[in-house]
Chains A and B, each alone.
Chain A
Amino acid sequence: MLKIAIVGCGKIADSHASLIQSLKGCEIVGVCDREPLMARQLYERFPVKHYFSDVSELLSEARPDVVHITTPPASHFELAKMCLQRGCHVYVEKPFTLDAEQAHTLVALATERQLKLTAGHDDQFSHVARRMREVVRSGYLGGPPVHMESYFCYELDQAYARALFGDRQHWVRGLPGKLLHNVISHGIARIAEFLTSDSPEVIAYGFVSPLLRGVGETEIIDELRVILCEEGRTTAYFTFSSQMRPSMHQFRIYGSKNGLLLDQDHEILLRLRGASFKSYLDKFVPPVLFARQHLANLAANVKAFLAMDFHAKAGMRYLIESFYRSITDGGPVPIPYREILLTATIMDRIFAQIGSKRSESPETSLANRLTVRW
Chain B
Amino acid sequence: MSTAAVERDSLIAHEDDLLLVTGASGFIGSRLVACLLDRGFRNVRCFARPNSEMTALGRLRGSESVHVVTGNLLSRNDCDVAMKGVKVIFHLATARDGKSYSDAFMNSVVTTRNLLDASLEHQCLRRFVNVSSLAVYTNKANPRGRLLDEHCPVERRPQSRGDAYCFAKVKQDELVIEYGGKFGIPYVIVRPGYVLGPDKAGISSRVGIDTFGVFLHLGGSNTIPFTYVDNCADAIALAGLTKGTDGEVFNVVDDDLPSSRSFLCMYKRNARKFKSVYLPHALSYGLCYLWEKYSEWSDGQLPPTFNRPHWHAYWKKTRYSNEKLKTRVGWQPKVSMREALARCFRSYCENEAHA
A-side interface residues toward B, CB under 8 Å?
A: 9-11, 13-14, 18, 22, 35, 37-38, 41-42, 44-45, 162-163, 165-169, 215, 305, 308, 310-312
Contacts and interface: CB of A to CB of B under 8 A. Distances in A.
Given A9-B102, A41-B105, 12 more contacts: A10-B102, A37-B105, A37-B109, A38-B106, A41-B102, A44-B159, A166-B49, A166-B51, A167-B72, A168-B50, A169-B75, A308-B299
A259 to B, nearest CB: 32
Given A22-B299, A308-B298, A38 B100 contact: no
Nearest to A70: B102
Contacts of B297: 308
Interface residues of B, number: 25
B179 to A, nearest CB: 13
Contact of A311 (B103, B159, B171, B301): B301
Q: Which 6 pairs, one residue from A and one from B, show the smallest C-beta to C-beta distance?
A: A166-B51, A308-B298, A22-B299, A11-B100, A45-B159, A41-B105
Contacts of A35: 106, 110
A306 B158 CA distance: 29
A41 B110 CA distance: 11
B100 to A, nearest CB: 5
A78 B109 CA distance: 28
Question: Which of the listed residues B72, B113, B301 has the most CB atoms from chain A within 10 Å of its own CB?
Answer: B301
Interface string B39-60: 0000000000111110000000
Interface in B241-291: none
**A-side interface mostly:** helix
Interface in B85-135: 96, 100-103, 105-106, 109-110, 113
A70 to B, nearest CB: 10
A35 B50 CA distance: 23
Contacts of A308: 297-299, 301
B161 to A, nearest CB: 12
B143 interface: no
Contact of B106 (A10, A166, A167, A312): A10
Interface of B: 49-53, 72, 75, 96, 100-103, 105-106, 109-110, 113, 159, 171, 297-301, 303
A38 B298 contact: no
Given A37-B113, A169-B72, A162 B53 contact: yes
B294 to A, nearest CB: 9
Contacts of B105: 37-38, 41
Question: Which of the listed residues A14, A37, A38, A311 has the most CB atoms from chain B within 10 Å of its own CB?
Answer: A37
Nearest to A312: B303
Question: Which of the listed residues A9, A166, A215 has the most CB atoms from chain B within 10 Å of its own CB?
Answer: A166
A159 to B, nearest CB: 8
Given A166-B49, A311-B299, A311-B300, A14 B72 contact: no
A37 B298 contact: no
A215 B96 CA distance: 19
Contacts of B51: 162-163, 165-167, 215
Contact of A38 (B49, B110, B159): B110
